[in-house]
Chain A
């Protein structure tokens, strides 16, 4: 007999670990679903839930203050909030969450929504120096905003993913000289492949970014006061910098689950299509649900891999599905299978995507052209359309989304009036693929503000 059974589907104690977008929306959805029991939200950060995407954009340039990004709470939830109180352990058989302050919190059912954090620079390579930043939380953005506003002579951005691009873009808007190092041959290559990445490289350069491709940072060096002064790059350059932003991806916040018996590591918590957590042994952990950036789960449209999406709308949708399933009998549960979507704003462009470009083997421009301001590129895997990226063309995406869901052939026959006469599919050129073009690892399509591309140094 499960705790849920003992407590009833819509009564008992639910603890939601994680009080950001996914945690908040899961709690609200639980009440929408008729859950009337005790509800507790545990949040590591001391703030009411806020939205992260503006941190790397309007907040950095000073157009939006950090106290103006609080997420609306859509409804009353009658919950107990434990903010500024990280969870440190989970006792699955005992149904208890351990908190950093030593408290133990009993639950009947659990929602895990602890998200991800920015990968940090190793302390031994200079990660502890003043002036070395990451960008994930409000405080990170406030600190970085302050550092940029002080007018450093040069900013170094390590990593040319979405966050790196957005930070570099903000620096240029502020008129600051900026260098971006990218381990692979093009920015955004991990998410969108080299073909679109090379077009993005032109945006960087037009904006005046010193873009160093196929380049890593060997060391960050400081002065005697522990302030960042110099970066040594793999191309041999040593450049004076006062501010460095580490934008090399995200790691899942799963340390608190060590020893819990759940299948969790730095890549996330493995879960079923219906959001229930999976145990180390491969069986389903009853009464534990996973939602948001921390979840890794199988998606029917993209078989053969576990998806982890740092996507805003995924957090929302997965929270709703988890809440739905948590309050339902097994026969009424549903699978979480959204069409992934994300956006980024950088270098004056609004980039939107649907599907999962990162699993593709080929890409073809379907509207506009790569050297034009607006274009749309379609991604194919083994002859099926699996993803689309649209730059400054937000009003056509719904059309493509329907094609992806219908598993339309790739290259698609569109006849778009602003497209090329003949589509010209080419290798999408994702770094780190084997000869067959199959990703060697799980796919983590990156999104703003914390890209999950392969970390590099």
Chain B
């Protein structure tokens, strides 16, 4: 089971508004207006399966999920 926080991004240049992600994970992806895709970059980890279905179903493979296991970087100031 992947316990990393869920992060994703959609390449909206590639996106052609086929809507397959909206149908697969409607709490994460939605159309605002007729063709404009909006989405949550950091949804709750509980929808990981739906998001993976969305990413796989995208006809133009525009959805990228985070794969890093390192913690997110934070402002340092004094790590010298």
Chain A positions near chain B (C-beta within 8 angstroms): 19, 41, 46-48, 50-51, 53-54, 57-58, 63-64, 67-78, 80-85, 101, 103, 311-313, 316, 341-343, 345, 348-350, 352, 373, 392, 394-395, 397-398
The residue among B36, B72, B74, B80 with the most chain A CB atoms within 10 A of its own CB is: B36
Bound together, the chains give a CA A212 to CA B66 distance in angstroms of 44
Are B67 and A75 interface neighbours, CB within 8 A? yes
Q: What distance in Å separates the Cβ of A103 from its nearest Cβ neighbour in chain B?
A: 7
| A84-B64 CB under 8 A given contacts A312-B13, A349-B33 | no
Question: What is the 8 Å Cβ interface bit string for chain B, positions 18-43, against chain A (1 contact, 0 not)?
Answer: 10000000000000111110101111
Are B11 and A350 interface neighbours, CB within 8 A? no
| A64-B40 CB under 8 A given contacts A46-B75, A76-B69, A77-B70 | yes
Are A53 and B75 interface neighbours, CB within 8 A? no
| A67-B11 CB under 8 A given contacts A74-B67, A345-B36 | no
Query: Using Cβ atoms and an 8 Å threshold, which residues of chain B touch A397?
Result: 16
Are B77 and A84 interface neighbours, CB within 8 A? yes
Bound together, the chains give a CA A63 to CA B38 distance in angstroms of 9
Interface size, chain B (Cβ < 8 Å):
36
Query: Using Cβ atoms and an 8 Å threshold, which residues of chain B touch A67?
Result: 42
Bound together, the chains give a CA A311 to CA B66 distance in angstroms of 21
* CB of B45 closer than 8 Å to a CB of A: no
A-B contact pairs, 16 of them (CB 8 A): A48-B73, A48-B74, A54-B41, A69-B41, A70-B7, A71-B41, A73-B68, A76-B69, A76-B70, A81-B76, A348-B33, A348-B34, A349-B35, A349-B36, A350-B35, A395-B16
Are B41 and A51 interface neighbours, CB within 8 A? yes
Bound together, the chains give a CA A88 to CA B19 distance in angstroms of 45
Are B33 and A341 interface neighbours, CB within 8 A? no
Are A395 and B38 interface neighbours, CB within 8 A? no
Are B32 and A392 interface neighbours, CB within 8 A? no
Q: What distance in Å separates the Cβ of B36 from its nearest Cβ neighbour in chain A?
A: 4
Chain B positions near chain A (C-beta within 8 angstroms): 7-9, 11-18, 32-36, 38, 40-43, 64-70, 72-77, 79-80
Please name the residue on chain A nearest to B72 by beta carbon: A48
10 further A-B contacts with Cβ under 8 Å, apart from A71-B7, A72-B65, are A46-B75, A57-B38, A58-B32, A69-B41, A76-B70, A312-B12, A312-B13, A349-B35, A349-B36, A395-B17
Bound together, the chains give a CA A67 to CA B44 distance in angstroms of 12
Are B68 and A74 interface neighbours, CB within 8 A? yes
Please name the residue on chain B nearest to A71 by beta carbon: B9
The residue among B18, B75, B80 with the most chain A CB atoms within 10 A of its own CB is: B75
Are A68 and B40 interface neighbours, CB within 8 A? yes
Query: Using Cβ atoms and an 8 Å threshold, which residues of chain B touch A50?
Result: 41
Bound together, the chains give a CA A316 to CA B79 distance in angstroms of 29
Bound together, the chains give a CA A51 to CA B41 distance in angstroms of 9
Are A313 and B13 interface neighbours, CB within 8 A? yes
Bound together, the chains give a CA A392 to CA B35 distance in angstroms of 6
Bound together, the chains give a CA A76 to CA B4 distance in angstroms of 12
Bound together, the chains give a CA A41 to CA B35 distance in angstroms of 36
Q: What distance in Å separates the Cβ of B32 from its nearest Cβ neighbour in chain A?
A: 7
Bound together, the chains give a CA A78 to CA B73 distance in angstroms of 11
Bound together, the chains give a CA A195 to CA B47 distance in angstroms of 45
Q: What distance in Å separates the Cβ of B30 from its nearest Cβ neighbour in chain A?
A: 9
Are A75 and B68 interface neighbours, CB within 8 A? yes
Q: What distance in Å separates the Cβ of B65 from its nearest Cβ neighbour in chain A?
A: 6
Contact of A70 among B32, B67, B72, B79 (CB under 8 A): B72
Contact of B35 among A46, A54, A101, A394 (CB under 8 A): A394
Are A74 and B64 interface neighbours, CB within 8 A? yes
Contact of A58 among B11, B13, B38, B65 (CB under 8 A): B38
Bound together, the chains give a CA A200 to CA B63 distance in angstroms of 30
Bound together, the chains give a CA A230 to CA B45 distance in angstroms of 47
Q: What distance in Å separates the Cβ of B21 from its nearest Cβ neighbour in chain A?
A: 14
Are A81 and B33 interface neighbours, CB within 8 A? no
Are B38 and A394 interface neighbours, CB within 8 A? no
Query: Using Cβ atoms and an 8 Å threshold, which residues of chain A touch B80?
Result: 103
The residue among A71, A72, A73, A81 with the most chain B CB atoms within 10 A of its own CB is: A72
Query: Using Cβ atoms and an 8 Å threshold, which residues of chain B touch A395?
Result: 16-18
Bound together, the chains give a CA A392 to CA B17 distance in angstroms of 9
The residue among A50, A58, A341, A350 with the most chain B CB atoms within 10 A of its own CB is: A350
Bound together, the chains give a CA A76 to CA B13 distance in angstroms of 25
